[in-house]
Structure 1
Amino acid sequence: MNVVGRFIIRTRIQDGITTVPEIALKYLRAFSGQYDHKLAQTEAHCYGWGIAHPTHSVTAYLREVVVDKPWWVQQTLEHAFYADQHAATELLRQLITEESLAFTVPLAPERDVTEDRFLLECLVGPDSKKYRPTVPRFWSTIEDYADEFEWDATVEEQLRTLVEETGIAKELPTDWTFQELAF
């Protein structure tokens, strides 16, 4: 898992998404439901780096499994933002505005959050200079790449508008940042 995740990221960064073999993405996707093997499921978050692949739709799979695997989708979506902000923004918008995807996620015994509030938390990591993706494990190159992450101004505005449209911004301070979306 670790090697495949590294390979996908390195290949995408160096040669572009079109050079990432579809079989590598299918391999990571296969571990998305490995609840009995948490490490494999976590390493599979690198699947998000395959967003906008020309022959393998990461977007379609994440939409398909978001209700059954919300935690995995949220973390994978965060990785997708590092890979392609525009494609990840479009996917996040689809997930949040798709009425048939209404669900709640338990955060604590007495606290559930709606799907839009839950999914928007994926913006916290890319927005932080202190946080870096933790998978693939033991690979400093991803930390170097994550240090370079900057929001595209258009994307940032689209995401801020999306947060406003959900009504969640009413619960945040007036001068809110994506950091306020953290649980």
Structure 2
Amino acid sequence: MTTDRRPDTVELEEVDRQLAAADNNNTDAIVQAVATYEARLAAADEAGDSDRYRGISQAYREQLITALDAATQSNGWAFLNDILNAYHPETGDELPHITTILQNVTSRYIMRTRLADSVEAIPVDALEFFSSILHSLDGEGYEFIVEGMHPYGWGIGHPDHPVAEDIHDHASTDIFVVNPMLEHAFYADQHLAMDLLEEIVRDDSIQVTLSHPTGQISEARSLLDAPAGAVSDFDPTIPRYWEWQKELDYEFELEDDVEQRIRQIVTENGLDSDLPDDWEVCDLTL
């Protein structure tokens, strides 16, 4: 008989009351809910109670994201930025427990802003929030925080923040994080994303070999999964709890010149021998 090891959902009456009040665009209530959630997770973490920690997170993560996203859409960037500053990655030695929620809501703001306006309209503070998290990652742990980094790629091309340089620099540290950030960069601007892909692949200082069910693969083969993911039939699942392609009426279409550049990378790296003769970009999906 298999034991169900999933944590029981933990209900917090104070958070329930605060979230209920936040439904009326009560910004004080949502700020209080964020603070209570952070405090209760911190207490569970300090006590070493992993079941309670997961139970609280399981019960309130999506609710808090939904409430905070709605409040941000109603009250604007300044409201969200105040919360980011209060729980900024640089406020302590460890990342705040609320980080994954703030990543999600900030990602939504960045993506909406870029598609509705321009990359220049994305607040630098939003990108610096992600950059601070990226620089704190060491390739271990932080599973949800790592996946929350994926939409950082949407800031590629910003004139006042070096998103592409950040991603490039991180390629030698953790190619697994770079791959999905690069995929999101393709959604944002496929030409700039292709520039970045070429720069990383042709950077002789980055020589990474990865284990894969098919055998050992190079960083070039790994990163080609990024454009392949963008053209695939699978809808992106990050940010979580949001069908952003549907809400933002977005559809990705790979341009011919970018496809030719992808094919050149495949040829340069001798990767076509493992592909069908009539291979398409989607065949590069790992």
TM-score by length of 2: 0.60
Question: Which residue matches 1:117?
Answer: 221
Question: Which residue matches 1:10?
Answer: 112
Q: 1:86 aligns with which of 191, 200, 204?
A: 191
In 2, the alpha carbon distance for the partners of 1:162 and 1:145 equals 31
Q: CA deviation at 1:101?
A: 0.9
In 1, the alpha carbon distance for the partners of 2:107 and 2:238 equals 8
Q: CA deviation at 1:142?
A: 3.1
Give the RMSD, CA atoms, in angstroms: 1.8
Mark the CA change 1:53 to 1:134 in structure 2 (over 3 Å): closer, same or farther: same
> Which amino acid is 1:176 matched to?
W
Question: Which residue matches 1:19?
Answer: 121
Q: 2:156 aligns with which of 51, 55, 64?
A: 51
Contact 1:125-1:131 within 8 A present in 2 as well: yes
Structure number with greater CO (CA < 8 Å, separation at least 6) is 1
In 2, the alpha carbon distance for the partners of 1:142 and 1:47 equals 17
Q: Are residues 1:164 and 2:264 paired?
A: no
Q: Are residues 1:137 and 2:236 paired?
A: no
> Which amino acid is 1:82 matched to?
Y
Contact 2:237-2:243 within 8 A present in 1 as well: no
> Which amino acid is 1:122 matched to?
A
Q: CA deviation at 1:31?
A: 2.8
Q: CA deviation at 1:144?
A: 5.2
Q: List per-residue Cα deviations over 1:46-74 (Å, max 9, x = no partner).
A: 10000011011111111111011110000
Q: CA deviation at 1:114?
A: 1.0
In 2, the alpha carbon distance for the partners of 1:143 and 1:137 equals 14
Mark the CA change 1:146 to 1:37 in structure 2 (over 3 Å): closer, same or farther: farther
Q: List per-residue Cα deviations over 1:57-115 (Å, max 9, x = no partner).
A: 1111111110111100001000000000000000000111111111112235x932111
Mark the CA change 1:144 to 1:170 in structure 2 (over 3 Å): closer, same or farther: farther
Question: Which residue matches 1:102?
Answer: 207
Contact 1:48-1:80 within 8 A present in 2 as well: yes
What count of residue pairs does the alignment treat as equivalent? Answer: 181
Larger radius of gyration: 2
Q: CA deviation at 1:126?
A: 0.9
Question: Which residue matches 1:61?
Answer: 166
In 2, the alpha carbon distance for the partners of 1:156 and 1:146 equals 23
The DSSP-based 3-state class of the residue aligned with 1:30 is: helix
> Which amino acid is 1:160 matched to?
R
In 2, the alpha carbon distance for the partners of 1:39 and 1:115 equals 23
Question: Which residue matches 1:126?
Answer: 230
Unaligned runs of 5+ in 1: none
